[in-house]
Structure 1
Amino acid sequence: MAFKILVSPIANNNIDEAIKYYKMQSQSAAKSFRKKLFDAYKSLQLNPFFTVKYKDVRAIPLKKLPYLVLFDIDEQQQIVNILSVSALIRFRKNILKI
């Protein structure tokens, strides 16, 4: 059974900021970011048991982009909670907020 993905308000804000940044570069860059993000969500739905980075927080990188999707798992409810979508340069600062 596939896990359900829930995106936190913080993660939604991170995503909006990243899309704005990529739109300033080009529309195709913004579309590529979205596609790679949804690809990561699909991977998490099937198998969310990626490496634990800090306490119970796990991370999956976006392919060919400098971003990590930070998340935790509720195994009983089969939910993946997306906590943050962080540029690698901001990773340390964002993980300390969680």
Structure 2
Amino acid sequence: MVFKVLILKRADLEIEESFLYYENIRKGLGEKFILDYKDHLKTLYKFPFFEEKYNVVHTLPLKKFPYTIHFTIDELEKIVSIHAITSNHQDPNITRIKL
């Protein structure tokens, strides 16, 4: 079973932003991020049924970078729609709970 993968505008912008972030850290690191992301896209073409979080939204974490792909699946049309690529990194200098 092969699915079509659609990358929505928000996700496309997040991928570009992440690429630029890593390229600014070190030349070529952004390209490694893109390669890791594309490896995961190949998986979604064949088998998109990963962890279902948030009711109908599925997630797939990247292996080499702290990011997660958020997507929905239309089983009838065989379409995977990527809605977001979010960073899993948390800044330890930011305290979320105020004491």
The TM-score bracket by the shorter chain reads 0.7 to 0.9
The percentage of aligned residue pairs carrying the same residue is 36
Name 2:39's counterpart in structure 1: 39
- Structure 1, 19-28 or 39-48: larger mean CA deviation: 19-28
Please report the RMSD computed on the Cα atoms of aligned residues, expressed in angstroms.
1.2
Name 1:96's counterpart in structure 2: none
Unaligned runs of 5+ in 1: 91-98
Name 1:72's counterpart in structure 2: 72
Matched, 1:28 2:13: no
Name 1:84's counterpart in structure 2: 84
SS of structure 2 residue aligned to 1:10: helix
Question: What's the offset of the Cα at 1:54?
Answer: 0.6
Scaled by the length of structure 2, the TM-score of the pair is 0.86
Scaled by the length of structure 1, the TM-score of the pair is 0.87
Name 1:51's counterpart in structure 2: 51
Equivalent-residue separation in structure 1 for 2:27 and 2:60 (angstroms): 24
Q: Please identify runs of 4+ aligned residues in structure 1 that moved more than 6 A.
A: none
Equivalent-residue separation in structure 1 for 2:71 and 2:24 (angstroms): 27
Aligned residues: 90
Query: Larger radius of gyration, structure 1 or 2?
Result: 2
Unaligned runs of 5+ in 2: 91-99
